[in-house]
């Protein structure tokens, strides 16, 4: 019997998000292994009871659930928590049959360091436990904005021709290759109905560049973007400051 995966994409930024880019890469690789995919963009279905029923039906028939979410203020965003509320409620109502299902998640953040995502992933693990899903592991991804712009396979293709002494090899290509390799190994395990080994996920525990370099380039990016929107001089405004 064909296996099935349900992809729950939790970013409100849609196809332009790192959540979409990373999660859809996982599910595409699963599809290549013959696992049928159904995907749901949560912001599009959250208020539509018919679509929610479709999602629950999909989860019910699935062997694997892939949850892909941004990190908002150190934890799960509203949209992702609401999704967990709905699934838990439907499960409590008996809408999910007893079946072995793996939950595999990724949490991605704009911060450079992967570990900002750890609490969100532990929250998703609790959600899995509460709902009788088997926690298959989670990918903590830092500096995730890169993958919103460039999906992993395309990004690696872009970086490949660069000369070996180009600093982008170290800053971008090396970490992306590690993430790519971990995802591919994870997909191998998931497709066999197995959890992703902790030792594999631990390979993501690295910081690819000096913190200050990331801070400087990130801050320049904010200024450039604000300038293009005519708001450069207002960036430090304090609109809610109490008048003395």
Partner 1 sequence: MSYLILNGMYKDDSFIPKINELVSKELVKRDVKGETIDLHKNAIKPCLGCFKCWIQTPGVCIIDDYAREVAKKMIQADNLIYLTPVHFGGYSSELKKALDRSICLMLPFFRVYKEEIHHETRYDKYPNLIVIGTLEEPNLKQEEIFSELVERNVLNNFAPKHATQIIYHSDDESTVKKKVEEGVRIVGDDND
SS3 label, residue 118? helix
C-beta of 184 vs 232, nearer to partner 1: 232
| Minimum gap (Å) between residue 227 Cβ and partner 1 | 9
Given the complex with partner 1, which of 100 and 233 has the nearer CB atom? 233
Residues that bind partner 1 (CB under 8 A): 11-13, 17, 43, 70, 72-79, 81-82, 84-85, 111-113, 116, 119-120, 122-124, 126-127, 130, 211-212, 214-215, 218-219, 222, 225-226, 229, 231, 234-242
Give the nearer residue to partner 1 in terms of CB position, either 70 or 175. Answer: 70
Question: Contact, 11 vs 19, CB < 8 A?
Answer: yes
Q: Which is nearer to partner 1, 25 or 127 (CB)?
A: 127
- Identify whether the C-beta of residue 92 lies closer than 8 Å to the C-beta of residue 131: no
CB-CB contact of 147 with 164 (8 Å): no
What is the distance of C-alpha 78 from the center of its chain? 15
Q: How far is the CB of 131 from partner 1 (least distance, A)?
A: 10
Helices (H), ranges, the chain: 18-32, 42-45, 49-61, 78-92, 118-131, 145-149, 152-159, 167-168, 174-191, 198-201, 211-228
At closest approach, how far in Å is the CB of 3 from partner 1? 26
């Amino acid at each position: 019997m064909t296996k099935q995966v349900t992809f729950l994409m939790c970013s409100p930024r849609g196809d332009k998000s790192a959540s979409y880019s990373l999660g859809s890469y996982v599910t595409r690789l699963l599809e290549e292994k013959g696992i049928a995919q159904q995907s749901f963009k949560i912001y599009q279905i959250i208020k539509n009871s018919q679509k929610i029923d479709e999602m629950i039906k999909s989860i019910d028939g699935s062997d694997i659930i892939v949850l892909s979410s941004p990190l908002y203020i150190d934890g799960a965003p509203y949209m992702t928590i609401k999704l967990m509320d709905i699934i838990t409620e439907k499960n409590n109502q008996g809408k999910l049959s007893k079946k072995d299902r793996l939950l595999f998640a990724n949490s991605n953040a704009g911060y450079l360091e992967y570990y900002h995502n750890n609490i969100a992933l532990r929250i998703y693990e609790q959600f899995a436990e509460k709902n009788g899903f088997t926690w298959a592991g989670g990918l903590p991804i830092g500096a995730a904005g890169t993958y919103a712009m460039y999906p992993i396979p395309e990004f690696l293709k872009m970086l490949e021709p660069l000369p070996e002494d180009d600093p982008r090899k170290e800053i971008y290509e090396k970490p992306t290759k590690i993430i790519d390799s971990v995802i591919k190994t994870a997909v191998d395990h998931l497709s066999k109905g197995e959890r992703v080994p902790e030792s594999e996920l631990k390979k993501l525990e690295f910081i690819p560049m000096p913190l200050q370099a990331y801070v400087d380039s990130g801050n320049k990016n904010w200024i450039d973007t604000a300038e293009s929107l005519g708001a450069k001089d207002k960036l430090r405004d304090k609109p809610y400051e109490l008048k003395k």
